Structure 1
């Protein structure tokens, strides 16, 4: 008897239509003549789902008593006895009632499959065992019912039932998922847009992995060796080199742009010995994980072959390598890993990334001296060592072979040695070698021996030619070395100037970047810029590389315009260095001028905002403040009239008008003062643990409007937030007052208080006309009314609320209520202790 086949409909969240799709598939198979039985279905009261059951045979349920309650479960024995071709079993992750044969429904399904019955089932992504902790981190809810991943992966077909978060929330509002009394709570918690988006991405990625697994199996079964570029996979070679972080970030950007996978690999030598700890490699491994990549290690005697083999095993489409640090000679002797990877990669693209200039930038090489050797001190020392040690040894060897070689051969060997010394040590050691070689050839190998006299004129010509050739070779090598040093210096200066030109691209304030480039380029310990304050005093503008406060009188000095001074420590620059330094100085002057202009522009913008605020306040004073004053004046004047006999009811009405308009005036003035404090950054707060239930009660009590329409929902644990109690109360009062003013009289205002991770969250949900997406972008700015009447205030309530929340290091945001209206969310740090904590008020809290 063959095993049954499993088909699963996977969803991102409840309500996406998994059960509906499963029943649709059952009806299609039934229409084709297949024997289909519904083993267990849960409609959750959804009419459309119940309608899909029509015409399908439904197996009877087994009723189990547990602790006084009767629970309905799938009757596994009845279904096995019925033996349909296909069984529809809903909710694969369900936990069976105590007393059932199996603890989990997926175990019941396993038995049905073993009996040869095909099963179609449903499951949500949050029930997969491997994703349980991820889902809890996203939603704050831990799923107790889970399914082992292997059960779902072993299914013959897994079909994703997909729906956008917005569409799912609309279904919720229309009552297609939960009962109306549960809709608001669900939308504010599990069914938030962010949660649904993250769960949808998890489901898509999980299904994509399963599809990828199936494709790998197909490629293996069909013995297809090539790479199918169905998904970009970027493999980055990690060596533990200092510039590796630049390489990993570059590879991560490449993978992100192509929506591909980032895979890091470190090739260990195949010696059987494990490398010692490498802190750089550990740091690169951590960085790779932070950027969403995976880390692998493999062993190979040949780095290039091992890297290409690994890339092929993971079906990589791109390989990213860092530029080689080897010199030319080393590459010629040992070969180039990069070239071997390119030749062996085949269809895989290979990217060679240059080293990070910021991390690898070297100082300018010293300018070659006009008089003296342009070579380094080490090379000159090596040349003199060849003169002192090598030439005597060569002479001893030639003397020992006197009987085998003649004078011409000796002179050629000495000339070759002179060329070697010239190439290494320059003109001085080579010229001395030429003279000493001439003397040695004359003394040991020219007749008469052991004298400096030359008997044969031909030998005299040969020795003279040798001396001339040796001196000429030494001179040519010295000139070549000087020109090479000049070219290296020119190239370094060009690179430094290119860095200067491009240093401020994309930088908000390039002074610090330029200063750092300057210090590294000239090999200085520290660099600083000072600005003149008065006739003799200077203050530091920027500093790089120095731990202590710099002094203007120390180090090399360069004036930057009339008011700025650049100092380099310890200094010691050459004339050539100062020429390049002049270019740096010009760019620094431009950057400093840019900083001054930006500061002036910022001050001008601040003044402009202040003028706008002042104009708005004057407009509010001239109109909105006069209205309550006019009402108070009219009512009080009427009460003071002696010629009119007002009855008690009329007098009471005048008194109520005065009282209401005085309260309104007090609110207006209070908001104006609060806004002024926020704009000035003068909000003083004391943060402590504040119970959300206490804040809600105090805020509602402070409102003059009736609050009977406000419905409060609190978590059982009564969360507390770190906030200033008075400011938090004002914020909530402003938000609730707005909701009451703009909601229909027959609609409730919902205030929810809950905790999520380390955050206390309060949501105020109304079902009024709402605010358009365009208006939501400016709704928290001062004096915004959005076309409503002017009787309610000057449009400062939401701006004050945002300013107070920012001052308390909280977040205030707004979104559309599904079905119409506005939902305002207040988020503050969750209280962990009740100690008072004074915090500085951030400047510009309302901005």
Structure 2
């Protein structure tokens, strides 16, 4: 892609490459002229001009088309090694080739330009749509908790001597929940910025995956749901970016807590299989529509008819951080009901004893 952009911005290079390709094709055809005939050579040169027109600007391709016509006349039309044409048929054929080569080159080049303009317009429209989606989401996700915090603080300040301890505790809980909600959304935005930057680097170290999962469970308390960790006792340590994997698990678990009914159960299993860390997160909720299983990983995508709230970044970030580890994340519905996320990450492993020896 970088070479194509370099070619598009350098007309001198376009002339050199274009004319060089025509001369090379002509030389190859000249070696086989007694087998293929000069009519076939005309078609081959036209094909070469058409292919070059897909990458070159209009003026260079016109010059190349004219050059191909002159080369075809000089090397292949009788009498060879001259620019003269002795028969009316060959003269008409040369004229047709000249017109077709030039028109073909010009039209192909212009079509390519029109497609590039249309593609840029489409990308701008998509970007604008994404920004609108983000702003609409943030207007709710940031405004609501900020309003909650301001309202609770004003109430505490204005009625500090009249509020019971129970009401104070309730207001403090509302402030804490709103603050955590703000913190989560800011983290998601920062994580997405990291993923889209060219300076994103993994900070690999040795981690106990069970400790990471337990941290996620502790940070996602919800009395209406039950979260279980299913793991063998002899798992090795994994060389991963622990905070990123923690956020991957956190985003999926938080998503399950938000969108499964009260009483649902979430099971997190961790295993070491065929050189990879495998994490499966299952719930017994309603699952996902079958035709939306891939779309849920897209930026800002939210399922229709879901409750308001959320920016639609959580699962997109989970996939991005997993891909950064050269891993995969898949989603499927369970036959018994609910959804299952499977995260597979190739990783180096070691035992705790080996770490202590080192």
TM-score by length of 1: 0.32
> Hey, what does 2:180 align to over in structure 1?
663
Alignment partner of 1:810 out of 327, 333, 337:
327
CA distance in structure 1 between the partners assigned to 2:129 and 2:199 by the alignment: 19
Task: Report the counterpart of residue 219 of structure 2 in structure 1.
Answer: 702
Q: Is the 1:631–1:657 contact (alpha carbons within 8 Å) kept by the matching residues of 2? A: yes
Pick from 267, 277, 302 the counterpart of residue 784 of structure 1.
Answer: 302
Partners of 2:224 and 2:264 within 8 A in 1:
no
1:575 corresponds to 2:74: yes
Out of 814, 820, 823, the position equivalent to 2:340 is 823
8 Å contact from structure 1 (residues 530, 566) kept in 2: no
Alpha-carbon distance, 1:591 to partner: 5.0
Distance 1:704 1:686 in 2: 28
- Is 1:627 aligned with 2:144? yes
In terms of fraction of residues, the more strand-rich structure is: 1
Aligned pair in 2 of structure 1 residues 636, 805: CA closer, same or farther (>3 Å)? same
Q: Can you list the C-alpha shifts for 1:595-617, whole angstroms capped at 9, x where unaligned?
A: 44444344333322221121112
Residue 652 of structure 1 pairs with residue 169 of structure 2: yes
The 3-state SS of whatever aligns with 1:666 is helix
Q: 1:561 to 1:695 in 2, by over 3 A?
A: farther
Higher relative CO (Cα under 8 Å, sequence separation at least 6) belongs to: 2
Name which of 737, 761, 785 aligns with 2:254: 737
1:162-201 equivalences in 2 (<5 Å)? none
Q: CA deviation at 1:715?
A: 4.3
Hey, which of these two has a bigger chunk of helix by percent? 2
Corresponding residue of 2:29: 364
Mapping for residues 155-166 of structure 1, pairs under 5 Å = none
After the TM superposition, which of the residue ranges 611-620 and 705-714 deviates more from structure 2? 705-714
Q: CA RMSD in A?
A: 4.1
- Using a 3 Å threshold, how does the CA distance of structure 1 residues 752 and 584 change in structure 2: closer, same or farther? farther
Confirm whether residue 493 of structure 1 aligns to residue 10 of structure 2.
no
Task: Please list, as runs of the form range in 1=range in 2, the aligned pairs for 1:468-483 lying within 5 A after superposition.
Answer: none
Unaligned runs of 5+ in 2: 1-25, 77-82, 84-93, 352-358
Residue 674 of structure 1, CA deviation: 2.7
Query: What is the match of residue 728 of structure 1?
Result: 245
Say if 1:765 and 1:824, in contact at 8 Å, map to a contact too: yes
Cα distance in 1, alignment partners of residues 233 and 113 from structure 2: 56
Contact conserved, 1:768 with 1:820, CA < 8 A, in 2? yes
What is the match of residue 273 of structure 2?
756
Q: Is the 8 A contact 1:784 1:795 kept in 2?
A: yes
1:416-427 matches, within 5 Å, as: none
Alignment check: 8 A CA contact 1:700 1:707 kept:
no
Relative to structure 1, the CA distance from residue 602 to residue 756 in structure 2 (aligned partners, 3 Å threshold; closer, same or farther) is: farther
CA distance in 2, matches of 1:598, 1:678: 29
Helix, strand or coil: the match of 1:751?
strand
One of 607, 616, 626 as aligned partner of 2:133: 616
CA distance in 2, matches of 1:363, 1:630: 75
Q: 1:573 to 1:692 in 2, by over 3 A?
A: farther
Secondary structure in structure 2 of the residue aligned to 1:686: coil
Residue equivalent to 1:73: none
Q: 1:619 to 1:581 in 2, by over 3 A?
A: same
Bigger CA radius of gyration:
1
Q: Note if contact 1:728-1:805 (Cα within 8 Å) is conserved in structure 2.
A: yes
Go from structure 1 to structure 2 and tell me whether the alpha carbon gap of 1:656 and 1:643 turns closer, same or farther (over 3 Å shift). closer
2:66–2:98 contact (8 Å) kept in structure 1: no
Structure 1 residue 733, shift from structure 2 partner? 0.4
Change (3 A) 1:671 1:760: same
Is the CA contact 1:687–1:723 (under 8 Å) kept in the aligned structure 2?
yes
Deviation per CA, 1:643-692, whole angstroms, max 9, x where unpaired? 86112222222122112111112212222333344355664433455443
Q: Does the residue aligned with 2:29 lie in a helix, a strand or coil?
A: coil
